[in-house]
Amino acid sequence: MKLAIFDFNGTIFPKETMPFILNQWYKNKYSKYKLLKVFVPLIPLYLKYKMGLTSNLSKEEMEIEAVRGVSKIFTGMSKEEINNFFNRAVISAKKFFNKPVVMEITECKKKGYHTVLLSGAYKPFLREVGELLNIDTVIGSQFLYKDNCLNMISREGIISGSNKLDKLQSFFKEHKIDWENSKAYADSYHDLQLLKSVGKPVAVDPDFELEKVAKSNNWRIIHCN
């Protein structure tokens, strides 16, 4: 089996996923109290992340804290309510999808690749994206439920750049993967380990560090914007 692995944030979707989710919460007129309760504590973290200010957390650790922090807005909601929210969110998100990457997904399927959506975004959200884009396998950050209501999201259940390859290999451990002929699409230097694991890495609108690596290794680069 050969895989075509696609990142979401910055690759399929050019916007920041966590702020987008909070914006969808506001636009769809969910509780403003819960929004403020979740958003206000995240402001310092978000400013440090966007402006590159000094922090005792790495960029990846800040992303993990954002995923955990935003997830609190769904606490107490049922699976059905959460799925309905993300169904609406994906309808709004799809108009921003990078068309060249969506075309790559279609072409990979035609060529017999098993397509994979691998991202730190929430799995209920990614599952809706996967259905929309006809992606075979979805691997994302897991919600934990108790009595059918969201309880929490564990740190161990969050997917980040440093553990993406481990999560991917664990998921496909019962399959014989042709890594040399597999593809991976990503935009961030944090995904370097994943990109190096396949024979056909593709940098999509890469950040500065990834672009340097891609050019030095003659990797394919897709510029969407």
- As to burial, measured by CB atoms within 10 angstroms (0-12 exposed, 13-18 middle, 19+ buried), residue 107 is exposed
What's the confidence (pLDDT) of residue 57? 57
Q: pLDDT band for 36, please (50, 70, 90 cuts).
A: very high
Q: What is the pLDDT of residues 208-224, one digit of tens each?
A: 999 999 999 999 999 99
**Is the model's pLDDT at 64 over the cut of 70?**
yes
Which of 57-61, 92-96, 182-186 has the least mean pLDDT?
57-61
Q: pLDDT band for 162, please (50, 70, 90 cuts).
A: confident
C-alpha angle 4/107/217, rounded to 5°? 55
Q: What mean pLDDT is reported for the chain?
A: 90
Q: What is the pLDDT of residues 85-101, one digit of tens each?
A: 999 999 999 999 999 99
Q: What is the pLDDT of residues 121-153, one digit of tens each?
A: 999 999 999 999 999 999 999 888 888 877 766
What's the confidence (pLDDT) of residue 53? 52
**Residue 142 CB partners (closer than 8 Å, separation 6+):** 123, 153, 154, 157
What's the confidence (pLDDT) of residue 51? 61
Q: Which residues of 182-200 are buried (b: 16+ CB within 10 A; e: fewer)?
A: bbbbbbbbbbbebbebbeb
Distance from the Cα of residue 185 to its chain's centroid: 12
Q: What is the pLDDT of residues 2-27, one digit of tens each?
A: 999 999 999 999 998 999 999 999 99
The whole domain housing 82 covers 3-222
Count of the separate structural domains present in the chain = 1
**Residue 111 CB partners (closer than 8 Å, separation 6+):** none
Sign of the CA dihedral 1, 104, 82, 72?
positive
The SS3 of residue 201 is: strand
What's the confidence (pLDDT) of residue 220? 97
Q: Whose structure tokens read 């958003």? A: 39
Q: Which structure tokens are listed for 132? A: 């929309």
Q: pLDDT band for 50, please (50, 70, 90 cuts).
A: low
CATH of the domain at 85: 3.40.50.1000
What's the confidence (pLDDT) of residue 156? 67
Percent of the chain at pLDDT exceeding 70: 90
This prediction has a pTM of 0.91
